[in-house]
A and B are shown apart, each in its own frame.
Chain A
Amino acid sequence: MPLLDIRNLTIEMDMAEGRVKAVDRVSLTINEGKVRGLIGESGSGKSLIGKAIVGISKPNWRITADRLRLGDIDLMNLSERERRRVMREDIAMIFQDPATCLDPSEEVGTQLEKSIPTDNFKGGFWRRFQWRKKQAQALLHKVGIKDHRHVMQSYPYELSQGVCQQVMIAMAIAGKPKLLIADEPSASMDPNTASQILKLLKRLNQTNNMTILLVSNDFATVRELAQDVSIIYCGQIVEVAQTKEIISRAFHPYTQALLDALPEQRRQSAAKTPMKNLAGSVPLLQHLPIGCRLGPRCPHAQKQCVEQPVLQKKRSHLFACHFPLKQE
């Protein structure tokens, strides 16, 4: 049984222009101990899926799903109190721009200590203080911060993005969650720091058997970590497959476009050849094209594409396209 099981998740938003579907019947599963990548451009609704799982929604959102389960917990029908308990114990989430995710007015160490659950600590309350401090230090060591004293006494603005993300990860794993949702954890970081963060996530996955949903906007970050990937475009899943397979052979033109954007693809092409990419930009949610949503941008689009393609299976790939790419 998969740890996270989403079936036909739909998120609608009431906006000034009327109701728009930001996420349209998305299905997603992750088995325990696996990493799944979720790739899509900004505005494709990939962050919304993460938010729907942890239950942060705005009043104008309408979330429906045939199934939204974490293990044997049904995330759709939770009372406020139960949901908070689930979020405290079972799910953790880290974001991009980690420096803004820490309270600027409090020392990092104090914030870290506050996120350590004390439920399983037996002993006098006077020992608890010392115990929490020890735990916090151990967590910082675990995420690769050696100079714990300096970091714990600093304010978030005194630390770099990379260190802040390490602290965020330390806070996230403090409660030993079953699922970690990483929402573009290395975006807006310099490449070296970014790869350190990804390495850390990989180590957590390998040594602690942590299940991770890795949300990102490019293949470069995901392929190191994720065994499986789902590609999302305009709120719809367009292709699902194992990472290895999808990199060697993509069926959906959009996936191919993302692969073409990888740095080594660029390197292989001769100098001064035009870069391959899709024309145009992601359509606004209130101006979605009918039929295949990639239609107007797709180089292979034909008459039939005005009809919505359904997800079909071919050689362990799931993809939604009338004219899948034939590769030599």
Chain B
Amino acid sequence: MTRYIMRRLNLLIITLLIIVFIAFAFGQTQHLNGVDTSMNLRTYWDFIARLLSGDWGTSSVSGKPIYPEMIAVLPATLELCFAAFLVSFIVGIPLGSIAGMHKKQWMRNTIMSITLVAHSIPIFWLALVLVMSLSLQMGWFPVSGRMDLLLDYPHPTGFALIDAWFAPADVRDAAISSVISHMAIPTLVLAVVPTTEVIRQVTISLGNVMQQNYVKTALTKGFSRWKILIDHGLRNAIPPILPNLGWQFGSVLTTTMILEVVFDWPGVGRWLINAIYQQDYAAIQGGMLAISGIVIFTTVATDIFTTLIYPLHRKEIYEH
């Protein structure tokens, strides 16, 4: 087990070093990393040391350091991603279970068709349509932004929902409802693609599991299909697909960055696109590093998590 985790962490470190090297090479060509533009181990090591000490360069536009600016915008993006993933699990697992049970063919077909349609809708188009109908025409949700700026309370973590939860009592309720109503549409739009993926994966995986001998054995013991689904089905169907869903995190993060522009969401995507417009290379370099680092870390973390919770996965490791 320890050996497996070490191996995964090893992979994580090597991949991070490669990403850092790409950022470093980019920086050297753009003269971002000081006067010495030669590419050798020493300058590379200096670059890593600077990154680790929190010096991620200085913005050529605002003249401020990159690192604190990025830390300020990153939580907004991550919060949206996590919320979308949560929604996709809450919606996707029950629907995928129904489709994977093979109980009613028409139900499965309906779910799969809706999934296909949802998967092929352009996300930014859906976002604009929802904003036009639900926000502008109906007025149910705010058009853009992350929270009501008139409410005054501290933001220690940067995650709006957590900050609102711990806000002073007089503004707490207003803060929470404001954050949720601002988050609702972006989260739903963002959740569409991962939800279809969760449904698809759960359907396939559960379909396989329900044909296994232990499910047949449970049937001969007189358990109902729903009890078997909970007892044997999901506990064997979900863990193997977790790494696949971890892979989805990267594409969700990218989609978030596009949506942030639509919703004027103060996250890393909007920040990065502004940086590109203004040719702020240091910010581009920093943003790229941060995002790819997060994606790689999530992928490795889901892999290790799966191994910890699923005994069969553990067995497969020892076989290799």
Report A's interface with B, CB cutoff 8 A: 54, 56, 83-89, 91-93, 95, 97, 100-106, 114-115, 155, 157, 168, 171, 175
What sequence of 0s and 1s flags, for each residue 268-283 of chain B, a beta carbon within 8 Å of any chain A beta carbon? 0000000000000000
Are B222 and A105 touching (Cβ within 8 A)? no
Are B220 and A104 touching (Cβ within 8 A)? no
Q: Select A103's contact among B219, B224, B236, beta carbons within 8 Å.
A: B236
List the B side residues contacting A93 at CB < 8 Å. Answer: 217, 220
| Contacts A103-B236, A104-B312; A115 near B221 (Cβ below 8 A) | yes
Which of chain A's residues has its CB closest to B311's CB? A155
Q: Select A84's contact among B212, B214, B222, beta carbons within 8 Å.
A: B222
List the B side residues contacting A91 at CB < 8 Å. Answer: 220
Are A86 and B213 touching (Cβ within 8 A)? no
| Contacts A97-B213, A104-B214, A105-B310; A87 near B221 (Cβ below 8 A) | yes
What sequence of 0s and 1s flags, for each residue 202-225 of chain B, a beta carbon within 8 Å of any chain A beta carbon? 000000000011101111111110
Are A105 and B239 touching (Cβ within 8 A)? yes
Q: Select A95's contact among B217, B235, B236, beta carbons within 8 Å.
A: B217
What sequence of 0s and 1s flags, for each residue 77-98 of chain B, a beta carbon within 8 Å of any chain A beta carbon? 0000000000000000000000
B232 within 8 A of partner (CB): yes
B231 within 8 A of partner (CB): yes
Are B224 and A84 touching (Cβ within 8 A)? yes
Which of chain A's residues has its CB closest to B316's CB? A157
B315 within 8 A of partner (CB): yes
Q: Select A101's contact among B214, B222, B315, beta carbons within 8 Å.
A: B214
Are B312 and A87 touching (Cβ within 8 A)? no
Provide the bound-state CA to CA distance between A327 and B175, in Å: 96
List the B side residues contacting A87 at CB < 8 Å. Answer: 220-222
List the B side residues contacting A83 at CB < 8 Å. Answer: 222
List the A side residues contacting B222 at CB < 8 Å. Answer: 83-89
Are B220 and A103 touching (Cβ within 8 A)? no
Are B217 and A101 touching (Cβ within 8 A)? yes
| Contacts A87-B222, A115-B221; A105 near B312 (Cβ below 8 A) | yes
Provide the bound-state CA to CA distance between A102 and B212, in Å: 10
Q: Which of B213, B218, B221, B311 is packed against the most chain A CB atoms within 10 Å?
A: B221
Q: Which of A92, A95, A101, A102 is packed against the most chain B CB atoms within 10 Å?
A: A101
Report B's interface with A, CB cutoff 8 A: 212-214, 216-224, 231-232, 235-236, 239, 310-312, 315
Across the A-B interface, give the 3 residue pairs with the lowest CB-CB distance, nearest first. Answer: A88-B222, A87-B222, A84-B222
Which of chain B's residues has its CB closest to A174's CB? B221
16 more CB-based (< 8 A) A-B contacts, given A102-B217, A171-B221: A54-B220, A84-B224, A86-B222, A88-B221, A91-B220, A92-B221, A93-B220, A95-B216, A103-B214, A103-B232, A103-B235, A103-B236, A105-B235, A105-B239, A155-B315, A168-B217
B177 to chain A, nearest CB (A): 41
Q: Which of A85, A105, A175 is packed against the most chain B CB atoms within 10 Å?
A: A105
Provide the bound-state CA to CA distance between A105 and B218, in Å: 14
Name 5 interchain pairs, CB-CB below 8 A, sorted by A. A84-B224, A85-B222, A95-B213, A97-B213, A106-B232
Are A104 and B213 touching (Cβ within 8 A)? no
A231 to chain B, nearest CB (A): 25
List the B side residues contacting A84 at CB < 8 Å. Answer: 222-224
List the A side residues contacting B218 at CB < 8 Å. Answer: 103
A164 to chain B, nearest CB (A): 11
Q: Select A104's contact among B221, B231, B311, beta carbons within 8 Å.
A: B311
Provide the bound-state CA to CA distance between A92 and B221, in Å: 7
B319 to chain A, nearest CB (A): 10
B302 to chain A, nearest CB (A): 17
B213 to chain A, nearest CB (A): 4
Are A56 and B216 touching (Cβ within 8 A)? yes
Provide the bound-state CA to CA distance between A87 and B225, in Å: 14
List the B side residues contacting A104 at CB < 8 Å. Answer: 214, 236, 311-312
Q: Select A114's contact among B231, B235, B310, beta carbons within 8 Å.
A: B231
List the B side residues contacting A103 at CB < 8 Å. Answer: 214, 218, 231-232, 235-236
Q: Which of A56, A95, A104 is packed against the most chain B CB atoms within 10 Å?
A: A104
Are B219 and A56 touching (Cβ within 8 A)? yes
B312 to chain A, nearest CB (A): 5
Are A100 and B223 touching (Cβ within 8 A)? no
Which of chain B's residues has its CB closest to A168's CB? B217
List the B side residues contacting A88 at CB < 8 Å. Answer: 221-223
Provide the bound-state CA to CA distance between A86 and B222, in Å: 8
List the A side residues contacting B223 at CB < 8 Å. Answer: 84, 88
Provide the bound-state CA to CA distance between A102 and B214, in Å: 5
Q: Which of B218, B222, B235, B315 is packed against the most chain A CB atoms within 10 Å?
A: B222
A184 to chain B, nearest CB (A): 13
Which of chain A's residues has its CB closest to B239's CB? A105
Provide the bound-state CA to CA distance between A279 and B218, in Å: 40
Which of chain A's residues has its CB closest to B228's CB? A103
Provide the bound-state CA to CA distance between A84 and B310, in Å: 30
List the A side residues contacting B312 at CB < 8 Å. Answer: 104-105, 157
Which of chain B's residues has its CB closest to A114's CB? B231
Provide the bound-state CA to CA distance between A184 and B222, in Å: 21
Provide the bound-state CA to CA distance between A54 and B312, in Å: 30
Are A101 and B311 touching (Cβ within 8 A)? no
Which of chain B's residues has its CB closest to A99's CB? B213
Provide the bound-state CA to CA distance between A8 and B306, in Å: 51
List the A side residues contacting B221 at CB < 8 Å. Answer: 87-88, 92, 115, 171, 175
Q: Which of B213, B218, B224, B312 is packed against the most chain A CB atoms within 10 Å?
A: B213
List the A side residues contacting B217 at CB < 8 Å. Answer: 93, 95, 101-102, 168
Provide the bound-state CA to CA distance between A101 and B220, in Å: 11
Which of chain B's residues has its CB closest to A85's CB? B222
List the A side residues contacting B232 at CB < 8 Å. Answer: 103, 106
Q: Which of B216, B239, B310 is packed against the most chain A CB atoms within 10 Å?
A: B216
Which of chain A's residues has its CB closest to B235's CB? A105
Provide the bound-state CA to CA distance between A93 and B213, in Å: 12
